[in-house]
Amino acid sequence: MAFGPITLTLALPLLGALVLAFVADDPRVVRIVGLVASVATFVASLIIFVDFDVSNPALQLEERMSWVPAIGADFALAVDGVSLALILLTTFLVPLILLASFDSVTTSLKGYVAAFLALETAVIGVFAATDLLLFAVFFEFTLVPMYFIIGIWGGANRRYAAVKFFLYTTLGGLLMLVAILYLFSQTGSFDYEAIRALELGTTEQHWLFAAFLLAFAIKVPIFPVHTWLPDAHTEAPTGGSVFLAAVLLKMGTFGLLRYALPLFPDATVAWAPWLLGIAVIGILYGSLVALMQSDIKRLIAYSSVAHMGFVVLGTFALNATATTASVVQMINHGLSTGALFLLIGFLYERRHTRQIAAFGGLAKRVPVMAGLWLLVSMSSLALPGLNGFVGEFPILLGTFQTAPWAGVLAAFGAVLAALYLLWAYQRMFHGPLVGADNEHTTDLKLREIGVLAPIVVLIVAIGLYPKPLFDLVEPSVERVLTEVGVDAPAAEPAAAQTDQ
Amino acid sequence: MFLAQSSVDVTSIAWSSFAPELVVVCAALVLLLLAVAGRYRLAVAAACGLPAIGAGVWLVASGHVLPGAVAVTLGAAAPALVVAFPGRPSLTQSWGSGLTLFAALLLTFWQYAEVLAPTGGLIAPTEALQGAIANDGIGFFTRITVYLSALLVVPIGYGYLRDRQIGRAEVEPLLLLSVAGMAFLGVANDLITLFISLEVLSMALYILTGLARRDRRSQESSLKYFVTGSVASAILLYGMALLYTATGALDLAGIGSGLGLVTSPPVVGVLGLGLVTVGIGFKVALAPFHLWTPDVYQGAPTNVTAFMAAAVKAAGFAALLRLYLVAFPTLSSLWVPALSVMAAISMLYGAWVAIVQRDIKRMLAYSSITHAGYATIGVVSNSDAGLSSTLWYLLTYAVATLGAFGCVVAIERVRQGEVSLVDLRGMGRTSPMLAGIFTLCLLSLAGVPATAGFIGKLTIFQAGVAAGHTWLVVIGVVSSVIAAFFYLRIAGTMFLDEADETRGLPLVTTGLSAGVSVAATLVLFLGIQPQLLLQLAENAAAVVR
């Protein structure tokens, strides 16, 4: 098929951005265009979901057009369970992000909304591309709108953060491009399946894996190349932080799962123990540093390093339980950390500070915000019954099977998460209500609750009944693991049969 | 050899193989005549136009419709433009040269369809004028780049030259002569043609860089370029003499086969290769022969700088490609490593030093050294893919750098002097369109997707990896990241910093905005839908050997 729902989902945000270029710079018009475009994109992504065959592990619904035949690149899009889940997460969050930003963004709302829509197109492209060059193009292009989102609408130190973000990620992206070009020189094609079928020597695999790993590790970010993240998160405007945490970081873990693992299976198996170690270091380091933060946004930024460490841990545990759960955890982290950044943004609009010490006893004045904050924190620290648990627990369970030491150490990270999140909550919302600022903080408005409500509903829904999400991603993950040469566990022969 | 043929049959001359240059040189002479004709302008224009119309009619009658139509149009345009702009000879000049360059571009494509690839697809290379020039892909694609660059420079420079009261009469004829030299350099198939074309283009540029007579920096720029350029020419000439000594041939293919013979003294040939490398390396500003570039680029009038960056580089690389692929294939074990090292140094050094620059023109000058390094990756790939990727890269670099310098022109016109980084503060708010175009061109130079520069880098890297020069490509990546820093700093200064109201808005006039808009459109078009021209670049991977 040449044109279908995936292309539509990809094109709609860009179309919205183009429309914005030609409309008056009137906030009301901009809001309408932004919302219509992003909601239409969400609807289009639901069409993909309806067409999608959940039991089929392969890439589906392929849409292919000739793009640059002179260099052998196609405009080829397709989805599997993992990429569809991430596309749905993206299209679900963008309307909410825009809605949350309409009041807080005062300068050039038009540019802000246009940048977000362009970013949405690029991210959907990253998740849907099955031509490696097209993937690299979208992967690189996400930097441009995000650079401007951080740089123009960000905090005081925004320039430094924006440039750091750009340079870190472009280095990884370009080295990955070189690796992609090498793969092209071996196969004469940028097509994912053609490159997947390629048999590579061990040395080649190690080098190429290293290039892909660097690109994705910077994006995730994996310790020790995470240092751009706290700056970018802290300086970005609320919408930028939400999108960064919820979606952009997932490009890294998605890339590992889609490209690094199945394309270079020998290298993956050889590197896996080391990456488990690095993931554990990231979890513990991120948690401990988060514990020490005085700025609540920076705290959550470091908590992202820790949480993404869990995702990397699950990915490289290389068994069906942990790796599937790591994909589920990508979605969970997107929802709960996204919600936390939204709450921080709402609080910042009221108080213009993010210092934890400046707050205290707020629960008496803002009960709704406090309640939601607590709920989302609980989700983030993996309380059973909420979404974080259904992701984090199987990751630990699966890791215990393959690398017990890593599981034990990572479990400390889960404890630390409870510590830094609840301690921060306690300092901000409990205790005596001191100071006029705290006294006069107002509770969430209806619109703000409306932005958070869909996310909270999903947090609870996934926590109580995660099966649909697992069913969506499991076959695709198992296909990856089969490629890596890790046998699907004996406990799930039924799933293996339905694949045929 | 030439003297032996005492009489030349006019009909046997392959006019079509240098038709675009013929038009450009004739137009240069006409414009020069018009500039000195005083009140006899109309008469001179008519006298020049009539024969052109006559020739055009004859051409159409004998079946060559497009060249005939071009000749008729240009012939009629000469008096028409004089009449149309009675008190403003400079407008006549600009429109005249613009039309001429557009005609040259048209003829280039006509040539492709009629002469180079009559059956479509790959170019079938042939020789013309007793082997002096080559009808092949290098010439074809270089013509596109240099004519397009010159065509964009004319409107970009118009208002700027008027503001700075830079002498008008000589600008366009010199520009046309120089661009004709570049086109001939692209097709030069023997050492004599190569050297003469190089000198034609250089002589014109020596004068153009010094056009601002009252500006000491422009004078310095001109003198520096002249002195160092002459030394480079002398070295090049000496190298050519050595090559002739070694092989007894002046045509490149003959030199190639001569150097391939074991009987020829290799030392002399290798010395010749080295000296020629120095000479051409100077022209394309490849490190370590780049030292003139920052001073000359900074001092020259900005429209001339833009032209030099875009077009001289393309023409120089055309000569470089032809020399190495045709004359020195047997010595590739020598020049591939040597050029690789030069490319690596250029990429890293240019990007590194550009970071500490405050003057935008100087920064772009160092960036041009970096880009010469990238283009060299295609040369050292020593393959068809390398050849077409270099040609393509130079086109993508040309459109982006022209757009960028065009924006500098707009800012310079109100600053009345050097444009440094602080002059750009807050331009994203005060003049969003111009800042947007500038940013787009800078992102293209940085190689960000959806711009021409990305596809350029991609094809270059592709050729480099395929040829096994992965280490060089990785250096290219590192240099791209360093370069992204200073390109982003310019973009950031425009969009991220607060505006400084005292500095005045950039002055964008019709011609300038037309020029930079076309450049920006091309940057986007070549970045998003590159297939059309990229396919031509692939077809151009055919050389007279």
- DSSP secondary structure letters along B314-369: HHHHHHHHHIIIIISGGGHHHHHHHHHHHHHHHHHHHHHHHHT--BHHHHHHHHHH
Residues of B in contact with A137 (CB under 8 A): 449-450, 454
pLDDT tens per residue across span A4-40: 889 999 999 999 999 988 887 788 888 899 999 999 9
Tell me B418's DSSP state: -
Q: What is the mean pLDDT of residues B381-391?
A: 91
Measure the CA–CA gap between B372 and B350, rounded to whole angstroms: 9
Structure tokens at A201: 């020597």
DSSP secondary structure string, A78-111? EE-HHHHHHHHHHHHHHHHHHHHHTTT--S-HHH
Strand bridging mode B126-128 / A60-68:
unpaired
Q: Do B531 and A68 make contact, defined as CB atoms within 8 angstroms?
A: yes
pLDDT at B399: 95
Q: Do the Cβ atoms of B172 and B97 come closer than 8 Å?
A: yes
pTM, entire model: 0.90
Strand bridging mode B133-135 / A73-79:
unpaired
Q: Which helix (H) or strand (E) holds A60?
A: strand A60-68
User: What is the amino acid identity at position B148?
Assistant: L
Sign of the Cα torsion B441, B446, B449, B454 reads positive
CA distance B257 to chain A (A): 31
Computed over every residue of chain B, the mean pLDDT equals 87
CA distance B152 to chain A (A): 26
Share of chain A above pLDDT 70, in %: 97
Nearest to A330 by CA among A464, A219, A171, A212: A219
Residues of B in contact with A170 (CB under 8 A): 480-481, 484
Radius of gyration of chain A measured on its C-alpha atoms: 22
Q: What residues of A are in the B interface, CB distance below 8 Å? A: 66-71, 133, 136-138, 140-141, 143-144, 147-148, 151-152, 158-159, 162-163, 166-167, 170-171, 174-175, 177-178, 181-182, 184-185
Contacts of B342 (CB under 8 A, 6+ apart): B281, B286, B287, B288, B373, B376
Q: Do A158 and B538 make contact, defined as CB atoms within 8 angstroms?
A: no
Residue A90 clears pLDDT 90, i.e. is over it = yes
pLDDT at A1: 63
Nearest to B15 by CA among B129, B174, B183, B140: B129
pLDDT at B265: 62
Q: Which helix (H) or strand (E) holds B55?
A: helix B41-61
Measure the CA–CA gap between B230 and B232, rounded to whole angstroms: 5
Q: Residue B2's pLDDT band (boundaries 50, 70, 90)? A: very low
Q: Do B465 and A178 make contact, defined as CB atoms within 8 angstroms?
A: yes
pLDDT tens per residue across span A304-348: 999 999 999 999 988 888 999 999 999 999 999 999 999 999 998
Residues of A in contact with B443 (CB under 8 A): 144
C-alpha to C-alpha distances, A384 to A145, A202, A413, A464, nearest whole angstrom:
37, 42, 16, 9
C-beta atoms surrounding B54 within 10 Å: 13
Residue of B nearest to A207 (CA): B470
Test mutation, A67, A119, A147, chain B, max B CBs within 10 A = A147
Residues of A in contact with B461 (CB under 8 A): 177-178, 181
pLDDT tens per residue across span A436-454: 887 888 888 888 899 999 9
pLDDT at A500: 36
Contacts of A317 (CB under 8 A, 6+ apart): A272, A276, A323, A326, A395, A398, A399, A401, A402, A403, A406
Least confident of A486-490, B184-188, B207-211, B501-505: A486-490
**Alpha helices in A129-198, H assignment, sequence order:** 132-141, 143-153, 158-187, 192-196
Q: What is the mean pLDDT of residues B220-224?
A: 91
Q: Do B481 and A151 make contact, defined as CB atoms within 8 angstroms?
A: no
Residues of A in contact with B489 (CB under 8 A): 163
Q: Do B531 and A70 make contact, defined as CB atoms within 8 angstroms?
A: yes
The CA-based dihedral angle spanning residues A435, A440, A446, A450, taken in that order and rounded to the nearest 10 degrees: -20
pLDDT tens per residue across span A351-381: 888 888 888 888 888 889 999 999 999 999 8
Q: Do A71 and B449 make contact, defined as CB atoms within 8 angstroms?
A: no
Q: What is the mean pLDDT of residues B326-331?
A: 87
Test mutation, B383, B495, B525, B532, chain A, max A CBs within 10 A = B495
Measure the CA–CA gap between A104 and A120, rounded to whole angstroms: 20
Measure the CA–CA gap between B168 and B165, rounded to whole angstroms: 8
Test mutation, B531, B533, B536, chain A, max A CBs within 10 A = B531
Measure the CA–CA gap between B514 and B144, rounded to whole angstroms: 19
Q: Do A137 and B454 make contact, defined as CB atoms within 8 angstroms?
A: yes
First to last CA, chain A: 24
Q: What is the mean pLDDT of residues B38-47?
A: 87
Sign of the Cα torsion B492, B497, B502, B504 reads positive
C-beta atoms surrounding B333 within 10 Å: 7
Radius of gyration of chain B measured on its C-alpha atoms: 22
User: What is the amino acid identity at position A369?
Assistant: M
Residue A260 clears pLDDT 80, i.e. is over it = yes
Token pair 């909601």 is found at A39
CA distance B119 to chain A (A): 19
pLDDT tens per residue across span A142-193: 999 999 899 888 888 888 898 899 999 889 899 999 999 999 988 888 989 8
pLDDT at B3: 47
Q: What is the mean pLDDT of residues B484-491?
A: 89
Tell me A167's DSSP state: H
pLDDT at A42: 93
Residue B194 clears pLDDT 90, i.e. is over it = yes
Q: Do A68 and B466 make contact, defined as CB atoms within 8 angstroms?
A: no
pLDDT at B501: 66
What 3 state SS string does A231-270 have?
A: HHHHHCCHHHHHHHHHHHHHHHHHHHHHHHHHHCHHHHHH
Residue B11 clears pLDDT 80, i.e. is over it = no
**Angle at the Cα of B215 from the Cα atoms of B210 and B217, rounded to 5 degrees:** 70
> If DSSP codes are grouped into helix, strand and coil, which group holds residue A171?
helix
